[in-house]
Amino acid sequence: MATDTATKTTQHSVGDYLRKNIREYGLLVALVVIMVFFQVVTNGVLFRPVNITNLVLQNSFIVIMALGMLLIIVAGHIDLSVGSIVAFIGGISAIMLVKWNMPAIIVVPLSILIGAAMGAAQGYWVAYQKIPSFIVTLAGMLVFRGMTYVALGGRPVGPFPKEFQILSTGFVPDFLSLTDPATSLIKNYVALIAVLLLVGYAIYAGLRERRMNVLHETENEPFTFFVIQMAVTGVVAIFLGFQLSTYRGLPNVLVIMGVLIALYTFVTTRTTIGRRIYAMGGNEKAAKLSGINTERLTFYTFVNMGALAALAGMIIAARLNSATPKAGVGSELDVIAACFIGGASASGGVGKITGAVIGAFIMGVMNNGMSIMGIGIDYQQLIKGLVLLAAVFFDVYNKNKG
């Protein structure tokens, strides 16, 4: 009898956990299914080493901006200007590099500061003047795009010096050189070993977190789910790492992206400022009454978004080896869509960095797969719009059901 009761309790807890985390597990499953689908319909092109590298290069800037956009959305706001900031920073960095002959080591941090100032200019009106972020950033989108055309004179500027191009097109060198790249299948052992170490650390960190949850008597995910999640992500990561190791290794931009993902995951889950952003997005009045300076916090989220958009702008410019006035057009929609597909709530207070990253990769794989299949841009936009609508509907449905 006691056994039956324990079994029912366990089943109930597993069911509750599934219902509470259906979005998170559903996202992971959706990404794997989409990847397998496009791998099959493209006759294996999707997972070829060259295409995986292109996928990273083409979508890294979306992932980077999604990290900042998630904080904006969690705080209860939106930023429509990021695509225009991308274009302006790409243009101004090109002018500094090509026309003013400034060294890249100065241009990169200076451009990020300029992007942060652009974010601050918008954050001031949203945070302290209480103007809706939709209006402020819509104005910013138009103003910054106009500034880009004025700065570039409506013409592209380039090419760039090699030290700037490595920001986007460079690769981590194989300093191990265990075998001759000319005769060995594996061309870059650093990529493979780095991925193996990351997978091992992820498993260790997951087990350590489970132990800490037990000590603090907080809820753990069912061990079966933990094993399945680690197995799926581990196998996929090792496979992708092996594919990259047979080509040119880890792109520099992938390393930058990985460091930023780890940093923002830590900030949102382990720091006071991260918890305050979620509290403010959940109930701004309650957060203010509890002593949180909501105006300053909102201001900082826009400054952060501007800095990340600036970095993304330089990555795009370096990849194309040219800065154009039309760079970043429509990218704000992909960034916002990545966050909502990744589980962020349109009403604020809800969202995870991992969800935004998975959402960005879902968008990226869909873009890449549909392009390989030869699907026109018109149908691509249609499909992405339907996916975004379905994601938001799913969020609203779960909230109403709960």
Q: How far apart are CA 274 and CA 158, in angstroms?
A: 39
The pLDDT tens digits for 137-193 are: 999 999 999 999 999 988 898 799 998 998 888 888 887 776 666 667 788 888 889
> Residue 58: pLDDT band by 50, 70, 90 thresholds?
confident
Above 90 in pLDDT, residue 9?
A: no
Alpha-helical regions (H) of 95-220: 104-127, 133-152, 162-169, 189-215
Contact 38, 372 (CB under 8 A): yes
**Distance of CA 146 to CAs 101, 110, 263, 302, Å?**
24, 21, 33, 20
Instruction: Summarize the confidence of residues 29-34 as an average pLDDT.
Output: 82
Instruction: Summarize the confidence of residues 98-108 as an average pLDDT.
Output: 94
3-class DSSP assignment, residue 169: helix
pLDDT score, position 173: 86
Out of 270-284, 311-325, 340-354, which region has the weakest mean confidence (pLDDT)? 340-354
Instruction: Summarize the confidence of residues 384-393 as an average pLDDT.
Output: 78
How buried is residue 293: exposed, middle or buried, by Cβ count under 10 Å (0-12/13-18/19+)?
A: middle
Instruction: Summarize the confidence of residues 124-147 as an average pLDDT.
Output: 96
The pLDDT tens digits for 338-365 are: 998 888 888 888 889 988 998 898 888 8
Radius of gyration of the chain (CA): 22
Q: How far apart are CA 86 and CA 148, in angstroms?
A: 10
Neighbours of 25 (CB within 10 A): 15
pLDDT over 70 for what percent of the chain?
90
Above 60 in pLDDT, residue 75?
A: yes
Q: What is the token pair recorded at 158?
A: 């380039």
Instruction: Summarize the confidence of residues 97-125 as an average pLDDT.
Output: 95
Contact 380, 396 (CB under 8 A): no
Average pLDDT over all residues of the chain:
87
Q: Choose between 398 and 327: higher pLDDT.
A: 327
C-alpha torsion angle, residues 116, 134, 72, 85 (rounded to 10): -30
Q: How far apart are CA 137 and CA 126, in angstroms?
A: 9
Contact 332, 81 (CB under 8 A): yes
- Scanning the structure block, which residue is given the tokens 């047979």? 246
Domains and their CATH numbers in the chain: 22-169+251-401 (1.10.3470), 171-250 (no CATH)
The pLDDT tens digits for 198-224 are: 999 989 988 998 898 888 877 777 788
pLDDT score, position 22: 66
Contact 46, 317 (CB under 8 A): no
Q: What is the token pair recorded at 203?
A: 């498993």
Q: What is the DSSP string of 291-331?
A: T--HHHHHHHHHHHHHHHHHHHHHHHHHHHTSB-TTTTTTH
In this prediction the pTM is 0.88
